[in-house]
Amino acid sequence: MAEIDPVHFRQTLGRLPTGVTIVTSTDDRGEPIGVACNSFTSVSLDPPLVLACAAKGSSTWPAIRARAAFTVNVLDRHGEWLCRRFAAKGADRFAGVRWTPSPTGPELDGALAWISCTTEVEHEAGDHVIVVARVVGLSQSGLAGPPLVFHRGRYGSFFQPVIRPVPGLTG
């Protein structure tokens, strides 16, 4: 079997749009921590399980792992700046970011939804760790906008025009 070129691999899989989330928790001092994550999906309804992938080289994931609880913040279309902030190394990720404490981790203002999780199991997979977590709480914001997505190396969102019948026009 031929070896897969990493650039070609990334370009090909980049054709599949992914949602953009921020995984948050607190460290052993109670300080907020978080990391951008676009490898997130539901796994099971019964029991309610989700999956997130963390880079083995992440400086944040070990602290989240130690806590074994985290909040997944689902970003809306205006959340690109948050994603970039939480993806940056060495940045003060929470500087100027409004958030509310929760038992599993900070809930970022402006998110579309918050998913509270506890870690069930981790599996090593190449240069990442696959984290399967139990959902222990769910909440949605009052925001009605579209989610932030990542596709072909760029951020974007879905646009769904509202189609209304034109008065007096019949088909």
In a domain, 81, yes or no: yes
Q: What is the CATH number of the domain that holds 22?
A: 2.30.110.10
In a domain, 42, yes or no: yes
Which ranges constitute the DSSP H helices of the chain?
Answer: 6-13, 61-67, 80-87
In a domain, 171, yes or no: no
Domain span including residue 64: 6-157
In a domain, 162, yes or no: no
Strand intervals (E) in the chain: 18-19, 21-26, 32-37, 40-44, 49-55, 69-75, 99-100, 107-108, 111-125, 128-140, 148-151, 154-157
Count how many domains the chain has. Answer: 1
> In this predicted model, what pLDDT tens digit does every residue of 75-119 receive, in sequence order?
999 999 999 999 998 879 999 999 999 999 999 999 999 999 999
In a domain, 58, yes or no: yes
Looking at residue 159, its pLDDT comes to 67
* pTM for the predicted model, two decimal places: 0.87
